[in-house]
Amino acid sequence: MKVLFLSHLLCFSFPLFASLLASINSGMQMFSAHAFNPFVLNPENDGGSSVFWKRGSPQAPNNYTPSVVDCPSTKPSIRNASQLSQNETSWLYIRRNNTIGPLRDLLVRSNITGFDVNNYINNVSRNGSLLPNIGIAVSGGGYRALMNGAGAVAAFDNRTAHSTSKGELGGLLQASTYIAGLSGGSWLVGSLYANNLSTIQSILNTKPATSSLWQFENSVIKGPSTLSASQYWGGMARDVKDKEQAGYNTTITDYWGRGLSYQLVNTSDGGVAYTYSSIADDPFLKAGNAPLPIIIADERPPGQLLIPGNATIFEFNPWEMGTFDPTTFAFSPVRYVGSNFSGGSLAVNGSCVRGYDNIGFVMGTSSSLFNQAFLTLNASSGPSQPVANAISNILQNIGENNQDIAAWPNPFYHYANDTNQNAQTTLLTLVDGGEDLQNIPLHPLIQPLRHVDVIFAIDSSADTDTKWPNGTSLVATYQRSQNSALENGTGFPSIPDQNTFLNLGLNSRPTFFGCNASNLTSPSPLIVYIPNSPYSYLSNVSTFQLSYNNTERNAIVQNGYDVATMGNGTQDAQWPTCVGCAILARSFNHTGTAVPSACVQCFQKFCWDGTVNSSTPAPYEPTLAVKRSAAKPIEPSST
């Protein structure tokens, strides 16, 4: 099958397209009526005073269009994936050290009776490999995943007001080494790093009059309130056309990424020149003051079906784009991805290209499934006139082809011909990171080279008929870890089937997998599975709901906060202690430390013990766990 690129579609008028889209947008809101609970996360704090992280920056030489620049003295080249990059290795040296203080604070607060935190941390700090190494993974699931994930990040961020009080988990973010995002989760991760890593609180407090940041009531189809539909769509069309005229393939993902940027990068031009690689130059990242952000996407060659579980998974970190999978097993410098690499290097007089890694395009690549948002427009019962028909024709044309791919120049062309499945193609076609059913971005965090000990896996998937998670993502990652052609040294704990998740309630409260390291066939992090569930709000909104007012947005974030903290420990007073135990579990093993009895109790309570019950479960219809009648909203953000 041939890839259809948008050049084939440029014959239609974008301003017209835009106004058509806008006019039917109101018909798109697929709300279901849910009980409403206001958002009560820290009304006093605006987060502004404690913001100390700086943002990604507009480094692209020519806005959205990749452009030739002078090469650095050491020409960029491709490397194999047998090691971490030099950049990551030297960064880890700084970052791991900086996690010690926050980790110590968090563990002290987690109140593990009879365990001397200071003594323990002092001892393990001398040997980096014994110090707990924490990763956070934020799943896909559209805006639901962005918002639920944001609640978890707010809970883990010690700058969120009250997050370091009794029962809370503030500081886990500061103690983490990695944070990975996929699809809707990549919007969260990308947006945070493009915006100072400012607090969730301060982002929610953004005044709609001053910025379109996280103003989801104006959907990505409609655009920000400050722009007319033709300004918005016309501007995006120009950006994409310029890239195309410079000789690069574009697809509908380019539009999707540009649109996302208006909501997720806090600039009036939709962050047109913001690159993913610019994050590497940010003082806060260089100083090791935040976890390393990683965004992932799946590969799906043109015309091929993606076989769940065996797609090659590509990652974008601030220095590199590439994969540890044996099917390509190589990394390229993400800053120079548009350059003409062949056989692993540039031609002798080959030029360097920068600007391909627009941050919106990276987020759009990870979430390219949402291109279907354009396609579902005609499904919504908008206007039935010729207008709708015209759109429907355009969209169907796109839909019949590979509408959901992102086109990347293949930096691995003619590289490692014998083992690299992509050695003979100039184009790398990437799709939504969740298309292989691994909706939680665990892949970069289970790489043995990264030595992660524990992953906090935030699952906002809509698996059940009622749109709550049922463990499908963990099952998929487990199955892939059993595929000897692909696993390449990655280990993963045993995961039961989805019926068991429901029958044992493993999806309605946090569950630990892989507690017993000696039961693993290859080393794997402990997985702290944190499934979305209703505490203060029924946050099981549709993945394809693209528009939210700020009240609902805040309520879903608050619910995510409650999910991560188990309602500040109100659902289980031991939870903060057990989080501390999960962080320490592998380190206890490595150091041969006897597990404190408080942790033994935690593991009895939260670890999956191997029990399986695969009988057909009853329909999953959970109700709110926490009632809040007099809760104060965090506003004012809707004024």
Binding of residue 1 to ligand NAG (CB under 6 A): no
Binding of residue 248 to ligand NAG (CB under 6 A): yes
x/- contact string, 3-42, with ligand NAG (CB under 6 A)? Answer: x---------------------------x----x---x--
Burial 227-237 (b: 16+ CB within 10 A, else e): bebbebbbbbb
Residues touching ligand NAG, count (CB under 6 A): 66
x/- contact string, 98-117, with ligand NAG (CB under 6 A)? Answer: x--xx--------x-x----
Binding of residue 626 to ligand NAG (CB under 6 A): yes
Residue length, the chain? Answer: 639
Binding of residue 351 to ligand NAG (CB under 6 A): no
Binding of residue 511 to ligand NAG (CB under 6 A): no
Burial class (CB in 10 A: 0-12, 13-18, 19+), 118: exposed
Burial 594-629 (b: 16+ CB within 10 A, else e): ebbebbebbbeebbbeeeeeeeebeebebebbbebe
Least distance between ligand NAG and beta carbon 15 (Å)? 27
Determine contact, residues 591/124, Cβ cutoff 8 Å: yes
Site for ligand NAG in 545-574 (CB under 6 A): 549, 551-552, 562, 567-568, 570
Determine contact, residues 240/254, Cβ cutoff 8 Å: yes
Residues paired with 249 in a beta bridge: none
x/- contact string, 476-505, with ligand NAG (CB under 6 A)? Answer: ---------xx-xx---xx---xx--x---
Cβ closest to ligand NAG, residue 191 vs residue 317: 317
H/E segment holding residue 150: helix 142-156
Phi, psi (deg, nearest 5) at residue 179: -135, 120
Binding of residue 141 to ligand NAG (CB under 6 A): no
Least distance between ligand NAG and beta carbon 588 (Å)? 17
Q: Which stretch binds ligand NAG (CB under 6 A): 61-69, 97-105, 187-195, 256-264?
A: 97-105
Provide the CA 119 distance to its chain's centre, in angstroms.
Answer: 35
User: How far, in Å, are 40, 152, 532, 558 from residue 201 at the CA level?
Assistant: 11, 12, 20, 10
Q: Pick from 55, 144, 243, 414: which binds ligand NAG (CB under 6 A)?
A: 414
Determine contact, residues 169/576, Cβ cutoff 8 Å: yes
Site for ligand NAG in 601-620 (CB under 6 A): 608-610, 617
Residues paired with 429 in a beta bridge: 407
Determine contact, residues 202/50, Cβ cutoff 8 Å: no
Tokens of 599: 């942790």
Question: Using alpha carbons only, what angle is made at residue 296 by residues 290 and 301, rounded to the nearest 5 degrees?
Answer: 160
State the pairing for strand pair 330-333/292-299: unpaired
Least distance between ligand NAG and beta carbon 485 (Å)? 5
x/- contact string, 370-409, with ligand NAG (CB under 6 A)? Answer: ---------------------------------------x
- Helices within 159-273 (DSSP H only): 184-194, 200-204, 229-245, 252-264
Q: Pick from 25, 63, 133, 174: which binds ligand NAG (CB under 6 A)?
A: 174
Cβ closest to ligand NAG, residue 94 vs residue 347: 94
Binding of residue 419 to ligand NAG (CB under 6 A): yes
Binding site for ligand NAG (CB under 6 A): 3, 31, 36, 40, 74, 86-87, 94, 97-98, 101-102, 111, 113, 158-159, 162, 164-166, 171, 174, 247-249, 280-281, 307, 310, 319, 326-327, 329, 343, 409, 414, 417, 419, 426-427, 463-464, 470, 472, 485-486, 488-489, 493-494, 498-499, 502, 519, 549, 551-552, 562, 567-568, 570, 608-610, 617, 626
